[in-house]
Amino acid sequence: MIQLNHVYKTFFKGKDTEVHALDDVTMTVKDGDFVTITGPSGSGKSTLMRVVEGMECADQGNCILNGIDLAKSSDKKRAEIRNQKMGIVLQDFGLFNDQTVKQNLQLPFLIAKRSIKSANIRAQEILEYLHIAELTNRKVQTLSGGQKQRVAIARGLMMDANLILADEPTGALDHKATEQLIFLLKKLNKEGKTIVVVTHDMEMARSGTKQFYMEDGKIFPL
């Protein structure tokens, strides 16, 4: 599903200091994998996720997603892939706080120019699957951290993406909510979803069927 081949990404800090965010990163994520990536802050984890998401392009090397070289795809094509082929879950949830849960879940369908009716049907299915149907008409700003994270995952599942990408999904959660999230991701993985998680949480990290460690832009299998 995902193949990174000798990926390099360099940023400049000030005028002269180079930061090698990704340094010859090669890794394979197969369909059905549950991949966890750990490492200190600044090791390149989030940059790696942004390359996989198509938000950043590698300076060298390539990222292949289901046979598509993201670097050779247009911005429009990458945005389409993100919306329809990936469920992206962020540490800060990435939700619109002044809108309801249902309105947040409608967004991927609206971007794909699909009907509100079909969006609402799908949203209800997903919310019931995640056992949070009672939140449908609640505004996001009234939810707990754990509830927001489940809504973020619900939005990621709206287009029935087979790939779930989560960058520090437990960062704003307490221990109980973290355990619930791990249980949910394991369940999704058993049902065939491919999961890639960047995390500092060791309990989450140990949940992966494939585990990696990053430091100074390099990646190492564990």
Q: Is 127 exposed, middle or buried, given 0-12, 13-18 or 19+ CB atoms closer than 10 A? A: buried
pLDDT at 8: 97
What are the extents of the domains in the chain?
2-221
Q: How far apart are CA 45 and CA 52, in angstroms?
A: 11
Which residues lie across from 198 on neighbouring strands?
37, 167
Computed over every residue of the chain, the mean pLDDT equals 94
Q: What is the mean pLDDT of residues 127-147?
A: 95
Report percent pLDDT > 90 for the chain.
86
pTM given for the model: 0.91
Angle subtended by helix axes 116-129 and 145-157, to nearest 10: 130
pLDDT at 18: 87
pLDDT at 90: 84
CATH superfamily, domain 2-221, is: P-loop containing nucleotide triphosphate hydrolases (3.40.50.300)
Backbone angles phi, psi at 61, to 5 degrees: 80, -175
Q: How far apart are CA 19 and CA 4, in angstroms?
A: 20
Whether 121 shows a pLDDT value over 90: the answer reads: yes
pLDDT at 171: 85
pLDDT at 172: 82
Evaluate whether 51 touches 81 at the Cβ level (below 8 Å). Answer: no
Count of Cβ atoms closer than 10 Å to residue 153 Cβ: 22
pLDDT at 9: 97
